[in-house]
Structure 1
Amino acid sequence: MAPAGETRTTGQPGLRERKKRETRVALSQAAIRLCVLHGWDSVTVDQIAAEANVSVRTFRNYFAGKAEAIAASHLERMFLVAEDLLARPAGEPLWDSLLHAVLGRFAGSENSGMDNSAPENRRWREGVRLMLAEPALAGEIVKANAAAQRQLAEAVARRTGTDAERDVYPKLVAAVVAAGSGVAVEHSLRAGEPEPLGAILAQVFEQLAAGLPVP
């Protein structure tokens, strides 16, 4: 996975690149898991490296700190959405393809405890909400979003025969998808009664595809 601010090509990566990507994802997931369970201030880089079974030096080779590590999971997921969009059937309507791509990559959140009412899952949802509200994370999320939107715009451009640099359309679609996905996650985390993220995403994309009609 390319660092934030870079655009990754969508070809098949080599073995070395796959290994690096796996390590990056493992570190990011370890950072999220520890920060959600124990709180932002209680987690150190040493603990994250140990959780991922790598050295602190390896962590530093990938990330400057835990905020960048956490944001990397969002960036990776949105990059995979772009890859999945390009793999959808060519004749499928764009917004149907986008919905399938987003649902496929956000569905794992339903297994992370955000979508049912068991006490431990409610605690997980609250931990995620508190982590995402951490000021130190905000800047890294903004950078990750920008990089993710560039990658998604490239995929949309290839699907629609437009130009991601010259045309507004692919950039606008990428920005809307990123915003809609973010709204769905935020709604799921803050709902009084837990709601399945997949159902919220489906509702969001149905309204987007319809042009956001007034309720």
Structure 2
Amino acid sequence: MTAGQPSLRERRRTETTTSIAEAALDLAIANGWDAVTVDEIAARAGISRRTFFNYFATKDEALFSNAVPWSEQNLATFTSSDGPVVDALELLFVARTSAEKHDRERSLQVMRLVESSPELLPGLLGRVAQGEKALAEAVVARDGVDEFTAQAIAAIAGAMARVSGMGWLAGLQPDPVTATRAAWSALRSLTS
């Protein structure tokens, strides 16, 4: 293993996490979220119920495990960068978006699932809030601003992510990376 590469254990943990999340979504799309059980998710992911709970506390947590992910590497790159915070934030969001797999139909299925199962909304919003909190902490570490300012910056950045994602899903942008850059360009047009 070379520096910067995840260990075999980390890769297997990531693979299992992804497998569980995909199983949860597949079952929810096929059967409706209320009908999905932890046992079914575990069976579909090829793991035991006990292993499921080593990864997630609830089935809702498994469903949204990939919502607003921040890699430690991306946040470290952000906090060690210099220059205007808006430039660093754009680079952070482009890096995250570039590293993700993009499947428009699957993303639309998730949206439809949340619309048809409103009890999922608090879990999704909780994940978004966790992502914004982590980003606010990184902004404080990078720029030394007060907590309120950092939270405002993180919320604005989160809005840019939502706008870019919705723009891509609606077909207003050809791909998520282009949509991300376009959203940040729109923000800059307000401040210039």
What TM-score, normalized by structure 1, do the two folds share?
A: 0.69
Task: Flag structure 1 segments of 5+ consecutive residues without an equivalent.
Answer: 1-12, 115-120
* Aligned twin of 2:3: none
Report the Cα distance in structure 1 between the residues aligned to 2:33 and 2:165, rounded to whole angstroms.
20
1:93 aligned to which of 74, 84, 103? 84
Secondary structure at the counterpart of residue 58 of structure 1: helix
**Residue 101 of structure 1, CA deviation:** 1.7
Report the AA paired with residue 138 of structure 1. L
Secondary structure at the counterpart of residue 50 of structure 1: helix
Q: Deviations over 1:106-129 (max 9, x none)?
A: 2355x4321xxxxxx4xx354232
**Residue 152 of structure 1, CA deviation:** 0.8
Calculate percent identity across the aligned residue pairs: 30
- Contact preservation (8 Å) 1:68, 1:137: no
Report the Cα distance in structure 1 between the residues aligned to 2:32 and 2:187, rounded to whole angstroms.
35
Higher relative contact order (CA 8 A, sep 6+): 1
- Residue pairs, 1:1-16, within 5 angstroms: none
- Residue pairs, 1:1-215, within 5 angstroms: 23-36=16-29, 39-41=32-34, 43-75=36-68, 77=69, 79-80=70-71, 83-88=73-78, 90-107=81-98, 111-114=101-104, 121=105, 124-133=106-115, 134-162=117-145, 166-189=146-169, 191=170, 195-211=174-190
Give the direction of change, closer, same or farther, for the CA distance of 1:198–1:53 in structure 2 (3 Å limit). Answer: same
- Contact preservation (8 Å) 1:85, 1:98: no
State the Cα RMSD in Å: 3.3
Task: Flag structure 2 segments of 5+ consecutive residues without an equivalent.
Answer: 1-5
